[in-house]
Amino acid sequence: MTENNPGTPAADLKPLFQEALGALVQDIDQPNGQWRVSVDAPSVSEAMQRLRDDPRLRFDMLVDIVGIDALNLQRPHRFEVVHLLKSIRHGFRVQVRCVLPADSPHCPSVTRLFPVANWLEREVWDLFGIVFDGHPNLKRILNHKDFAGHPLRKDYPVTQRQVLSESDDLLDEMKAKLALKGRRIDGRLPEPLELGGTGALRAPGDHPLFLVNFGPSHPIVHGILRLLLAVEGETIIAAIPEIGFLHRGVEKNLETVTYHKGIPYTDRLNYCSPMMNNVGFCKAVEKLLGLQLSDRDMLLRVVLCELARIMDHLICTGPHLIDLGALTPFWYLFQVREQIYDIMEKYSGARLTCTCVRIGKMPFKIYPNFYDEVEAVLKSLAATIDDIRGLVERNRIFYDRCHMVGVISREDAVAYGFTGPCLRATGLEHDLRKSEPYYLYDQLDFSVCVGTNGDTYDRFFVRIYEMIESTKIVRQAIKRLREIPEDPASAPEAKNKKISPPAGEIYDCTEAANGELGFYIVSDGSPKPYRLKIRSPSFCNYSAIEPLAEGSMIADLVSTIGSINVIGGEIDR
């Protein structure tokens, strides 16, 4: 795989883009070192198809779709849509940008090319009111059904709240889906189906389909998710997911605060591994500012990130086992997490939401016993992992509940924008720490853990082995840290300097616990971000839940959701 920092491409791609796109391309530029192709709005779909199919480019993964409302940017157009593409094979990245007018923003849908676009486009429609022509189900996804207006437009007031009196019954989607599958509904519906209600949909000649609400508040959904299932016996015929229950408007709030004040919001995205989000956000802003960190700060961030990865994998694997009926491993695993909490509390003053990174520096000095205490955690983690493996690795029940359950193929995983352990479980050796190394990861020795089948079993064990790899990384980083004395000049300053990055756009990403955590920042030169889009790994990973659920049994769905590690704060933002 080509080594390639996002934004510092190894090759000059301009001729390739020109050849692939021909007359479709309006402009090719490289702002902040990142390739950007501007095309006419109606030809977006065609251009994306060519970029995907060209053998020398192979942009096979749609990373994210960013909507921008340029109302206050003094540009001739109102809206912009940026599609972020990545080529797993070649390690290239490109942004496909189109501009849309204020009165009728229409853009062609790319759902037929990339299934993950289904949810991404729904999100842009929900937040900006940009219509994607040809989308199969353009419906609100994060906000509730009674919401009027589009909250991320610049003319929507931040605090204009809208009340929902009754949840969506999702029957419109369910009926459409069952019709596609050739299962008829005879028109007679049972009593109004509300949340928690169930009822049978009978069609003459068919076996009766039973509607079950899975969630929104269900012990296994780890937060708030909802699936409306049509089941035949215990087999799921159709599944309609509903997300957005934890949509708390982070992106809108971030536009109202300065960059430094934005850091605490990132803590609460993936609240299982907050340090990693801090680092991802600060790294993106630093890139926009062109700041370079000292080796010591970078290594300290590596240590915190890997501890966060361990924390996150602990909270994925432990509750996953609880969902399968194994409570004991959770008590062992959580004990290690408590030890990491203790370290974080001594280091930053907070157990969970620590906000322990600042833009361009690390704010806190490490305390005297820091290295020894981290080493103690790593030792007890190794012992705990041995215990857990002893409990589950050859456990018949665990094996039967997980092996070949929730299988996703490598091609489908890429098409659905899978990243992180869920992608690696399919056998694809893709890790941003290796493919686009940042900080000093390229100087540290560790392996990328991959699975073979892309099933729940692999996803579980990829996480277990990644924890072991993380301990190796932490040990190496600490060994180097011990040799670098603390520079008194870089000691924490009393006040954070006001930061106003130059006007421009940037996308930057890190390998977070669940996959690629990206931040797309639009700066207008002011101390507050003009637009900040968070590319959350869970959102894309979970968007494949419909094909994963359909055809499986309800008990398998439990196992599948547990292994994907769905974090509400990250999905719904």
> CB of 260: closest distance to another protein in angstroms?
14
Cβ atoms of residues 263 and 278 within 8 Å: yes
CA–CA separation, 422 and 463 (whole Å): 9
In the bound state with another protein, the residue whose beta carbon lies nearer, of 126 and 505, is 126
**Residue 406 touching another protein (CB under 8 A):** no
CA–CA separation, 244 and 225 (whole Å): 8
Q: Which of residues 414-473 bind another protein (CB under 8 A)?
A: none
**Residue 163 touching another protein (CB under 8 A):** yes
**Residue 346 touching another protein (CB under 8 A):** no
Among 165, 205, 290, 494, binds another protein (CB under 8 A): 165
Cα 256 to the center of its chain, rounded Å:
23
How far is CA 313 from each of CA 127, 138, 153, 202, 432, rounded to the nearest angstrom? Answer: 31, 34, 36, 43, 17
> CB of 404: closest distance to another protein in angstroms?
28
Q: State which H helix or E strand residue 417 sits in.
A: none
| Sign of the CA dihedral running 204, 205, 207, 209 | negative
CA–CA separation, 510 and 276 (whole Å): 8
Dihedral, CA atoms, 425, 428, 429, 435, nearest 10 degrees? -120
Phi-psi region of 20 (alpha: psi -120 to 50; beta: other; left: phi over 0): alpha
Interacting residues of 447 by C-beta distance below 8 A, sequence separation 6+: 469
Beta pairing partners, 83:
65, 96
**Residue 335 touching another protein (CB under 8 A):** yes
- 226-232 vs 235-242, strand pairing mode: antiparallel
Residue appearing with tokens 């030792």: 379
Considering only the stretches 44-52, 243-251, 381-389, 510-518, report the one whose residues sit in contact with another protein under the rule CB under 8 A: 243-251
Question: What is the secondary structure of 53-95 as a DSSP string?
Answer: H-TTT---EEEEEEEEE-TTTT-SSSEEEEEEEE-TTT--EEE
**Residue 162 touching another protein (CB under 8 A):** yes
Q: Which residues of 444-456 are buried (b: 16+ CB within 10 A; e: fewer)?
A: bebebbbbebbbb
**Residue 268 touching another protein (CB under 8 A):** yes
> CB of 244: closest distance to another protein in angstroms?
6
- Rounded to 5 degrees, what are φ and ψ at 81? -125, 125
**Residue 196 touching another protein (CB under 8 A):** yes
> CB of 197: closest distance to another protein in angstroms?
10
Among 244, 406, 417, 529, binds another protein (CB under 8 A): 244
CA–CA separation, 419 and 511 (whole Å): 9
Q: State which H helix or E strand residue 533 sits in.
A: strand 531-535
CA–CA separation, 300 and 303 (whole Å): 5
**The two three-digit tokens of residue 404, written as one number:** 């070949």
In the bound state with another protein, the residue whose beta carbon lies nearer, of 29 and 146, is 146
**Residue 364 touching another protein (CB under 8 A):** no
Considering only the stretches 18-26, 239-247, 379-387, 427-435, report the one whose residues sit in contact with another protein under the rule CB under 8 A: 239-247
CA–CA separation, 289 and 207 (whole Å): 62
Cβ atoms of residues 110 and 44 within 8 Å: yes
In the bound state with another protein, the residue whose beta carbon lies nearer, of 101 and 219, is 219
Cβ atoms of residues 508 and 518 within 8 Å: yes
Cα 16 to the center of its chain, rounded Å:
30
> CB of 164: closest distance to another protein in angstroms?
5
> CB of 468: closest distance to another protein in angstroms?
23
> CB of 488: closest distance to another protein in angstroms?
33
Assign 80 to helix, strand or coil: strand
Considering only the stretches 332-340, 390-398, 413-421, 454-462, report the one whose residues sit in contact with another protein under the rule CB under 8 A: 332-340
Considering only the stretches 9-17, 250-258, 359-367, 555-563, report the one whose residues sit in contact with another protein under the rule CB under 8 A: 250-258
Binding characters for another protein, 126-155, by CB under 8 A (x = yes): ----------------xxx------x----
DSSP strands (E only) in 235-297: 235-242
**Residue 223 touching another protein (CB under 8 A):** yes
Among 219, 325, 492, 502, binds another protein (CB under 8 A): 219
Among 28, 73, 203, 352, binds another protein (CB under 8 A): 352
Binding characters for another protein, 298-317, by CB under 8 A (x = yes): -----------------x--
Considering only the stretches 33-41, 247-255, 485-493, 499-507, report the one whose residues sit in contact with another protein under the rule CB under 8 A: 247-255
Instruction: Tell me, by CB under 8 A, how many residues bind another protein.
Output: 54
In the bound state with another protein, the residue whose beta carbon lies nearer, of 39 and 467, is 467
Beta pairing partners, 534:
519
Considering only the stretches 158-166, 201-209, 358-366, 510-518, report the one whose residues sit in contact with another protein under the rule CB under 8 A: 158-166
Among 161, 482, 495, 498, binds another protein (CB under 8 A): 161
Contacting positions for another protein (CB under 8 A) = 142-144, 151, 156-167, 194-196, 216-219, 223-224, 244-250, 252-253, 264-265, 267-268, 271-272, 315, 330-331, 334-335, 337-338, 341, 351-353, 568-569, 572
